């Protein structure tokens, strides 16, 4: 197991964790204090920058003497733990907090802090035990449960060298504009106004779908935290009316995640990767793509993440009976992106994704520059009547897409280049019925403003169905 924050690893074994059972409470208290005191100073991490070390060490010693005279002084014990943590003296902080639990076991905040400290020392089994005990009460605040969930996920990741997570859903989807038709029948053709046949304007449709994502992480076991990550995604849909939109999609991405400077800059990593995509549309081979990219990520603590990256894709489109000019879109796509997420107030979490890309297609009117920004919020509410692991997650979201095409399409209007602005809002609801089975639904409304009426449209969609995850 790798060292954390410069710790010597002494706490990998529960040498300082005691449970005393005696009728002589004062003696037990004194023993508990002394056992905590013997741990004092064994493990030190680097103090945080900007800390007045001299002043804190003096305060730590004063508090230590105060606790020695009165081990039941919980206020002094908690302050001693805070000061010791600020100094990077995690062992002393743990001793103070565990003494508090001896006098009052019903302190979930203390258990939470102990879980964090043991995590920082790399003692993941003890950390996991404290985290799990901190959320046993049904009235545990949602923000505490979210924080613990992030730490538990990271602990499971570090304890298991090979991890596989999987999510799948099947169900039905309804769209008011399934064929992506324009809102009205007035369009542009060869630069002139024309009336589009009603069968080609927006039309509703139902479709059945199935989708799944598998993510595998293999710890390379080199004590740096390096790992190999692979993601495989698949999507399948069958439409009621517009069978030309029936889709089969498979996407694969794989590559190592390498720690940059695990000792001096923990949480930073770089990930080069390659990927491939294949799409069948309307029952015919429509698109293949090959991708290479790299990203730099920073995870300052469990639950928080920041990542920036760049990737280059070669997309090859293939003409079909339904899409006879698809090959015009063939070309290279360069994309820069960022991902970020973390906790907010009152149990809410946020996630954002932004991209800037340029699609260099075979023809000018299929080449474009595109910018996107999406923001997601999540809130998880535990449902005690269904069990401690049963919860409902609410996820509102909003997004925007802006695309500028490099030149006009002569078949539509030789004088006006296309520019689209898409806005979308919606909400997702995920209900966990058991540990592995749930039900998910999502509603979205989107609209596109364009310099050409052919591409102005609105669409409202809803999908729902059972989910499986492990």
Angle in degrees, CA 342, 253, 283, rounded to 5: 115
DSSP 8-state assignment for residue 63? H
Virtual CA dihedral for 344, 126, 129, 27, nearest 10 degrees? -110
Do the beta carbons of residue 187 and residue 196 sit within 8 Å?
yes
Predicted local distance difference test score (pLDDT) of residue 48: 53
**Every domain of the chain and the residues it spans:** 10-134, 162-469
Tens of pLDDT along the chain (470 residues) come to 333 333 322 222 333 333 333 333 443 433 343 334 333 333 445 555 555 788 888 888 888 888 888 888 888 888 888 888 888 888 888 888 888 888 888 888 888 889 999 888 888 889 999 998 888 877 777 778 878 888 888 888 778 788 899 999 999 999 999 999 888 888 889 889 888 777 778 899 999 999 999 999 998 878 787 999 999 999 999 999 999 999 999 999 999 999 988 878 888 999 999 999 999 999 999 999 999 999 999 999 888 999 999 999 999 999 999 999 999 999 999 999 999 999 998 889 999 999 999 999 999 999 999 999 999 999 988 776 655 567 899 999 999 999 999 999 999 999 999 999 999 999 999 998 888 999 999 999 999 999 999 999 999 999 999 999 98
Spatial contact of 35 and 16, defined as CB atoms under 8 Å apart = yes
216 burial via Cβ count (<10 Å: 0-12, 13-18, 19+): middle
pTM listed for this prediction = 0.71
* φ, ψ at 20 (rounded to 5°): -100, 135
pLDDT reported for residue 253: 98
CA dihedral 100→106→107→112, nearest 10 degrees, is: 110
Query: Radius of gyration over alpha carbons of the chain, in Å?
Result: 28
Q: Which CATH number fits domain 10-134: 3.90.1010.10, 3.40.50.11810, 1.25.40.10, 1.10.600.10?
A: 1.25.40.10
- Asked if residues 118 and 110 have their Cβ atoms less than 8 Å apart, the reply is no
| Tens of pLDDT, residues 257-272 | 999 888 788 889 999 9
Residue 10: predicted pLDDT: 28
**CATH architecture of the domain with residue range 162-469:** Beta Barrel (2.40)
């Amino acid at each position: 197991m790798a060292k954390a924050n410069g710790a010597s690893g002494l706490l990998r074994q529960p040498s300082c964790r005691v449970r005393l059972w005696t009728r002589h409470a004062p003696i037990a208290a004194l023993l508990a204090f002394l056992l905590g005191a013997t741990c004092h100073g064994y493990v030190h991490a680097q103090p945080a920058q900007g800390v007045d070390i001299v002043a804190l060490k003096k305060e730590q010693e004063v508090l230590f003497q105060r606790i020695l005279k009165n081990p039941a002084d919980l206020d002094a014990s908690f302050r001693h733990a805070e000061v010791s943590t600020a100094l990077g003296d995690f062992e002393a902080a743990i001793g103070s907090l565990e003494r508090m639990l001896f006098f009052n076991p019903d302190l979930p905040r203390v258990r939470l802090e102990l879980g964090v400290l043991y995590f920082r020392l790399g003692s993941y089994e003890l950390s996991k035990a404290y985290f799990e005990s901190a959320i046993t009460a049904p009235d545990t605040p949602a923000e505490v449960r979210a924080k613990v969930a992030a730490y538990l996920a990271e602990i499971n990741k570090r304890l298991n060298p090979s991890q596989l997570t999987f999510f799948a859903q099947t169900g039905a989807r309804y769209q008011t504009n399934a064929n992506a038709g324009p809102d009205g029948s007035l369009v542009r053709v060869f630069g002139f106004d024309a009336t589009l046949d009603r069968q080609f304007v927006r039309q509703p449709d139902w479709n059945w779908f199935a989708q799944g994502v598998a993510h595998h992480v293999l710890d390379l076991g080199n004590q740096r935290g390096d790992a190999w990550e692979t993601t495989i995604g698949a999507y399948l849909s069958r439409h009621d009316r517009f069978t030309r939109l029936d889709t089969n999609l498979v996407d694969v991405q794989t590559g190592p995640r390498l720690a940059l400077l695990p000792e001096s800059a923990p949480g930073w990593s770089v990930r080069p990767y390659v990927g491939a995509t294949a799409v069948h549309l309307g029952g015919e081979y429509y698109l293949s793509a090959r991708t290479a990219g790299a990203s730099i990520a920073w995870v300052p603590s469990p639950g928080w993440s920041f990542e920036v990256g760049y990737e280059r894709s070669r997309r090859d489109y293939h003409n079909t009976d339904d899409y006879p000019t698809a090959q015009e879109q063939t070309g290279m796509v360069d994309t820069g992106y960022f991902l970020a997420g973390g906790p907010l107030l009152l149990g809410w979490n946020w996630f954002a994704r932004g991209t800037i890309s340029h699609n260099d297609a075979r023809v000018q009117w299929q080449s474009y520059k595109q910018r996107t920004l999406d923001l997601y919020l999540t809130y998880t509410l535990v449902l005690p009547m269904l069990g401690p692991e049963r919860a409902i997650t609410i996820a509102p979201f909003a997004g925007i897409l802006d695309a500028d095409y490099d030149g006009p399409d002569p078949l539509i209007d030789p004088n006006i280049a296309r520019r689209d602005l898409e806005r979308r809002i919606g909400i997702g609801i995920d209900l966990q019925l058991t540990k592995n089975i749930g039900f998910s639904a999502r509603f979205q409304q989107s609209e596109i403003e364009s310099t050409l009426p052919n591409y102005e449209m609105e669409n409202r969609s809803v999908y729902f169905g059972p989910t499986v995850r492990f």
